[in-house]
Each structure stands twice: as C-alpha cells, then as structure tokens.
Chains A and B, each alone.
Chain A
C-alpha cells in the first residue's frame, strides 16, 4: 500500500525548474521578413549543433540556448553577414563540435580517406578477378 502511494506520488511529481522564466529571444521563433534571408538562415541553422541537447540542430531544438543561437544567426544574416562567416564565428568558439558540416582536419581526415581507400581495394580485387577469368 505504501509502495503504491509512493508510486502514485512519483507520477504527479513535477520536475524541478531548471529553466529560466525569460521570454525567448526576439528572433528565436520569429522568421526574418525577407524570405531569401530567412531561407539562408534556416539552411545554416539546420547545420549548427545545439550545445545543450543530444544530436539536435539548433533549428530542431526548443532549448533556450538554441533559441538564443537562432536569434544570433537571424540578426547576423539580416545584417548582411555570410552564413560561412557565422559558422566560422561559432567554430572559433566551440570548435568542430558546433558544426554538422564536416571539414577535413587533422582528426577527421580518416573519415574521408578510408572510404576512398576501401573503394580502391574493392576495385583492385574485382579487376584481378575479372582479368583471371578473361
């Protein structure tokens, strides 16, 4: 009986407030008036990683910090900044982690090299096999 009461209490328990009570940033959920600029901002936001969540882009996340990042992206695009510059600005602060657009670097080059190598090996094997048959 007591265990059941505790279980029931656990069901109605509210999580402790770990979120702020501030309204979202002006451009967190508001689109830019210029559809072309909004499209550029949207495209960029989908390739920027939310810092507070697991495997979500800032375009997909409702975390307040992701909203603040969308605000940054939109006001910078509206001010005429290039998407590439904004990505670089964030990567200067958070490293590769923040970008979903992989770049070739000292740590990531095997990701690009290994598939090319495997295709090469497969090609070589096929070639040798067919040559033998012929």
Chain B
C-alpha cells in the first residue's frame, strides 16, 4: 500500500488536533491599548463630583508621574479595587479619576461609601477619553509620566499583588 495515500488523512487530523488545542486554550480577553508609549491625547472634562475639580490633560504635563484611573460608580470591580487605590494614595501616589457614563449623585454616593483616593475626577459621559486612550472597559489604570506620556496600562481591578507593580511602574516613569 502506498504510504502517500495516508498523507491527506494525516494533514486532516493535524488540523483537527490544532483546532482542539486552540479551543482548550483560555482566550485572552484583554484588549491592550496601543497608546502605551504615546502622549496622552488632549482632553478637558468637567468635574464628576461636587468636591473635586475636573480634569484637563495638560494637568499631566507637570508635577511628576500620576495614575489615571478609569472607573464608574456602576462598576462592581471598582468597589473591589477601592482599598488598593487607598493604599496607593497613602504611598503618596496622585490618582486622577475619570468617571465613565456616571451621574454626580452616584459618584458622590460611591465615594462616601468606598473612599475617595482622587485629587481630581473628570466626567466622561460619552466615553471620549476612554476611547482616546485605548481603554476598553472599567476599571483600567494608566501610569502617566511627568511629561504626559502613557507608560503603562493595567487592565481590570487592582488586586493587592498589583500595588507593588504599579509603584514600580511609577518609579520607572519618574525617570
């Protein structure tokens, strides 16, 4: 029997095996921003709460590295990351918030309940800043260096083990 007769079958089962293997692999659902390494696009947002000013992108051009936290009062993982943001604030990190599709009354209620680690909170009703920096969900946290360059993106809620990573990224952004 000609061995070459089996070749198509071998190729077919090879494909089958490849497909089965790929199906068993967990899908990476994170869509990374391709804005990392680029300059923060220009934006200006009105305040999202009554006791913090709004956010202007020029604010990131002075005063050292900062965190830009994309969040919302209606987002459950944002509650989970609140203690970690508080810890980062205690470490002396400046955190600027952008509230996505949120009402000031809801923002105030969230902050009263879970703490307010922000120095400024901008109100992004149309997800404009979110789209502008390549963020695809809430929460996401960006490290912005003192010149307004995005140097790092953290996708999802900040867990305790991510705090040292963010501190290290902030230190690197220093210079």
Q: Is the interface of A mostly helix, strand, loop or mixed?
A: helix
A83 in the interface (beta carbon within 8 A): no
Report the nearest B residue to A20, measured CB to CB.
B101
Contact count band on B: 20 to 34
Quick check: A21 and B31 within 8 Å, CB to CB?
A: no
Cα of A18 to Cα of B102 in the assembled complex, Å: 12
Return the contact of A65 from the options B35, B75, B125, B136 (Cβ within 8 A): B136
Tell me if A22 and B137 are in contact (CB < 8 A).
no
- Hey, which chain A residues are within 8 Å of B32, CB to CB? 95
Contact B34 A92 (CB under 8 A): yes
- Counting residue pairs across A and B whose Cβ atoms lie within 8 Å, the total is 66
Question: Chain B residues near A93 (CB, 8 Å)?
Answer: 33-35, 131-134
Q: Which size class do A's interface residues fall under?
A: 20 to 34
Asked if A18 contacts B100 (CB within 8 A), the reply is no
Q: How far is the CA of A69 from the CA of B130 in the complex (A)?
A: 10
**A-contact 0/1 string along B130-160, CB 8 Å cutoff:** 1111101100000000000000000000000
Residues of B within 8 A of A (CB): 31-35, 72, 74-76, 100-103, 106, 125-128, 130-134, 136-137
